[in-house]
Amino acid sequence: MACGVAPVPAAVGIVAAESTGNSCIECLSTLSALSPGAPPARLEQLVAVAYALTSPELQQVSLPDFPLENLHAAAGILERIPDIPTHKLAYLLYPYNTFLTKELVRNVEAVLHNLKVNTKPKCHMILAGIKYEGERALVTMDVNGQKSEFAVVTGDRKPGGFAQKVVKTAYQSELLNELLISHSVADFCVVGPKGCGKSLLISQLASLLGYTIEPIVVYQDMTGRELTQQRSTLNNGDTVWRNSALVEAALHGRMAVLDGLHRLHASTIAQLHSALVEAALHGRMAVLDGLHRLHASTIAQLHR
């Protein structure tokens, strides 16, 4: 993580937004097609923020890249909850206060200020209701007094309630609501120091949506292969591929929880990211035995 960098020039947000050219326009067009219900002006502001934070000017101060490949998830959230502030949307993808130095945080907020994004918006999220219908739940979320309804996928167990009796603070309740919103569009990563309640929060989400948790403990030397399948030998000498816990979770609709993701080597995280993107965008997962695990919706499309 870089530190001790120079402040960003005052006009960098505006310059970056103008210099991205066709890429920014094409991205906005694609997101508008994927999420036609998202407010156009808000979507344009979100894309401007994303491309400003990946501008050459900020590359010079070693600012980590904004995850442009996840903009489709933010656009999906904006379509479901039109009243969510732009800063909250961007922060869900890029929680800069969590992993950047103070100097880099100031750089990011300078960009947001230049793009007229309020960095301290009012954003009160209240879970107003949840209705279970088959393999999904209809969630009613109140954001700053405006209610929105969206669907999330549920697990194979009876949903509702919490596995442990806990007294949630307002902050924990808001985090749980953010997880519900994130789960409606994509996989997510929970970041925080040891002992802050990440596992408890995930357990509450799993209980609320009826998921069986598939715990996956990762370690530093773990490879991308081990995350999908492992080769083993039967008693008769035949070689077979055995699914990992991650693949089993995907096949049976469980909630895979990779505990200690920060321990993985960058190359292994890249392979994991590639597999998750492939599963999210195309509904399939390629594994080492040469077979492709397809989502039910993908199979239905192939039949048509």
Q: Which residues pair with 242 in a beta bridge?
A: 230
In this structure, the answer to whether residues 31 and 107 fall within a common structural domain is yes
Instruction: Pick the closest to residue 216 from 263, 163, 286 (CA basis).
Output: 263
Q: Are residues 227 and 288 in the same domain?
A: yes
- Rounded (10°) CA dihedral 148, 149, 150, 151: 160
Instruction: Report CA torsion sign: 161, 163, 167, 168.
Output: negative
Both tokens of 197, joined, read 């309640």
Confidence band of 19 (pLDDT split at 50, 70, 90): very low
Is the same domain home to 177 and 145?
yes
Inside any domain, residue 153: yes
Which residues sit opposite 216 in a β-bridge? 258
Q: Is residue 38 part of a domain?
A: yes
For residue 200, being part of any structural domain is answered with no
Token pair for 74: 């933010």
Would the pLDDT of 51 be above 50?
Answer: yes
Instruction: Quote the domain boundaries for residue 238.
Output: 212-304
Q: Supply the mean pLDDT for the chain.
A: 82
- As for how many domains the chain has, the answer is 3
* d(C-alpha 272, C-alpha 278), whole Å: 10
Say if residues 159 and 132 touch (Cβ distance below 8 Å): yes
How confident is the model over 190-238, as pLDDT tens digits?
A: 988 888 889 899 999 999 999 999 998 888 888 877 887 777 788 888 8
pLDDT one-digit tens code per residue, 60-101: 888 888 999 889 999 999 999 999 999 999 999 999 998 899
Q: Give CA–CA dist 114/14, Å, rounded.
A: 6
Residues 267-302 have pLDDT tens digits of 888 888 777 766 655 555 555 455 555 555 554 555
Taking the complete model, does pTM exceed 0.85, yes or no?
no
